[in-house]
Structure 1
Amino acid sequence: MRLGLVTSGYCMARQCLRKNVPLHRVCRRNVTGAGSTLDFNVDSKTGIAVLSMNKPPVNSLNLEFLTEINIALEKVENDKQCKGLIITSDLPKIFSAGLDITEMYQPDIDRLQEFWRTLQDMWIKLYGMSRVTIAAINGHSPAGGCLMSISCDYRIMAPNYTIGLNETQLGIVAPFWFVDVMFNTVGFRQTEMALQLGTLFKTDEALNIGLIDKVVPQEEVLNAAKLEMERWLKIPAFARQLSKTEARRPTIEKLIKRKEEDIGYFRDYITKDAIQKSLGMYLESLKNRRK
């Protein structure tokens, strides 16, 4: 039953995708509005799209939210007028808290597998996107939020936040393609230590190791991303796109070849009694914090 809980905005956007409706029309009429988890705007003069996540309280990535993001990414890729994409958050102090733990705790197996497949597809679209992508990180960005950030071409972050793949702190393990992207970004030794320790890097620490590229004040993050985008868009598009494709293709093809194997491994691992117990304890701790 949970698979049917898809928002009306998603359904309308999917219909527009099939009909090849221009991106700016989808954004204005279907993706934004009451109940939407995405705020989408495209500057018709510059061709720069801004995707702002708006899923309170922490932009957690569940099946429906990932599906909406996938549709948005596909529209950006297919719209010839769109030259670049900035991903940011509408929520205060949080970019994205990552994967929704409730998708993994006492799950329906069919939904669990669909959830993971949708996450795989989101990453393949984002990491392999031919358009310029910039993460405007205006809040904390752990786990899946970090994955989204480091899958972009460039990362700008506000001070006094944290970012990293901290899965081991929850008793779970980052899949190989999370590891590969981290390794491609900061190198083997930093990746090895960070993944084992579940390190969340403070903004300045992330800058020092190359996990992010620039730090600006909170109120300047989005404008800084737009200015940075202008620099990237000055490069001849074909040459830039081909360079990106050549650099990222091996990492993407590795997951594509092992998608079903990866889904099976995730399903079998996350449903182990010890892992379920750990996730249950974590969810209980979150409830206690809110009291």
Structure 2
Amino acid sequence: MALAAASRGLLHAGSRLGRREVVDGARRFANKRVLVETEDTSGIAVMKFKNPPVNSLSLEFLTEFVISLEKLENDKTFRGVILTSDLPGIFSAGLDLREMYGRNPAHYTEYWKAVQELWLRLYLSKLVLVSAINGASPAGGCLMALTCDYRIMADNPKYTIGLNESLLGIVAPFWLKDNFVNTIGHRAAERALQLGMLFPPAEALKLGVVDEVVPEDQIHSKVRSVMVKWLAVPDHSRQLTKSMMRKATADNLLKQREADIQNFVSFISRDSIQKSLHVYLEKLKQKRG
């Protein structure tokens, strides 16, 4: 019920989104920050992140993304979704730190609800989700990839993936930690989370953070061939199996959702955390400037 109520709120907030256009026979939801390309005959949609400069998970991006995903879930034409980036060299740089710095508790509450909603919607989606990780994917970018049924990463040593929150002075939420542990095991996750480790493609593959690494120019053809394999399984049996495997982890958040929000707001509002975020944001300004 909490998930449904939050979704209705996001749909209301984004009711003006989703203007459609047709390009080369494919339909597109022409949103500002999330481009959705659909081909009805294949049953596959592609969601491309286009929130420059680094596809940060701003409140506006999170809202558009969840609305777009729900549209696809409600359209029985589609059975699978490919997540990828429309920006060269970056999958997603993760949470937008500007949403967590210098704001009021009401804003922090709204933002964290949207982050929770993103994870829940992706993690519990009945659709087959395959990520084509075609750029750097730290923190929240890794979050989105971890929710997918299958992850394929471009073989480029400049691209890394992982949960590096500790290096920024913040902590990955317990539900994302659980997702990470489920993926790579307790000891590997414990070490990676404490050290804020980011892994290049080969190491990410070895640890199980991603399922395949392929040459960059082959990633989109590979992700489609993998999707075909997953879609060959009857939906009802695959969906029931997915739910069985993921329900306990998702329920852990659903039962503690309000407490998790309160903990986040309390934590992010601390003077020491705000100072850490200020220092980091200033460093980013200097790099860009």
SS at match of 1:200: coil
> 1:13 is matched by which residue type in structure 2?
L
2:216 corresponds to: 218
May I ask how many residue pairs the two structures share in their alignment?
272
- Is 2:71 the partner of 1:75? yes
Worse-matched range after superposition: 263-272 or 69-78: 69-78
Q: Aligned-pair distance for 1:286? A: 0.4
2:176 corresponds to: 178
Q: Aligned-pair distance for 1:13? A: 3.2
Worse-matched range after superposition: 72-81 or 53-62: 72-81
Greater strand share, 1 or 2?
2
1:232 corresponds to: 230
- Separation in structure 1 between the aligned mates of residue 205 and residue 36 of structure 2, nearest angstrom: 28
Q: Deviations over 1:243-273 (max 9, x none)?
A: 0000000011110111100000000001101
1:3 corresponds to: none
Superposed, which structure 2 residues align to 1:54-93 within 5 Å?
54-93=50-89
The share of aligned pairs that are identical, in percent, is 49
Superposed, which structure 2 residues align to 1:1-291 within 5 Å?
10-13=14-17, 28=27, 31-32=29-30, 36-159=32-155, 160=157, 161-291=159-289
- Separation in structure 2 between the aligned mates of residue 189 and residue 201 of structure 1, nearest angstrom: 16
- Separation in structure 2 between the aligned mates of residue 218 and residue 107 of structure 1, nearest angstrom: 39
- Separation in structure 1 between the aligned mates of residue 266 and residue 217 of structure 2, nearest angstrom: 43
SS at match of 1:13: coil
> 1:223 is matched by which residue type in structure 2?
S
> 1:154 is matched by which residue type in structure 2?
Y
- Separation in structure 2 between the aligned mates of residue 169 and residue 256 of structure 1, nearest angstrom: 28
Q: Aligned-pair distance for 1:285? A: 0.3
2:3 corresponds to: none
Contact 2:37–2:45, Cα closer than 8 Å, also in 1 = yes
- Separation in structure 1 between the aligned mates of residue 206 and residue 147 of structure 2, nearest angstrom: 18
Contact 2:90–2:136, Cα closer than 8 Å, also in 1 = yes
> 1:165 is matched by which residue type in structure 2?
L
Greater helix share, 1 or 2?
1
> 2:17 is matched by which residue type in structure 1?
A
TM-score (norm 2): 0.91
Q: Deviations over 1:171-211 (max 9, x none)?
A: 11001011010001001001000000000011100000100
Give structure 1 regions of 4+ aligned residues with deviation exceeding 2 angstroms: 9-14
> 2:91 is matched by which residue type in structure 1?
F
Q: Aligned-pair distance for 1:108? A: 2.4
TM-score (norm 1): 0.90
Structure 2 segments unaligned to the other structure (5+ residues): 1-9
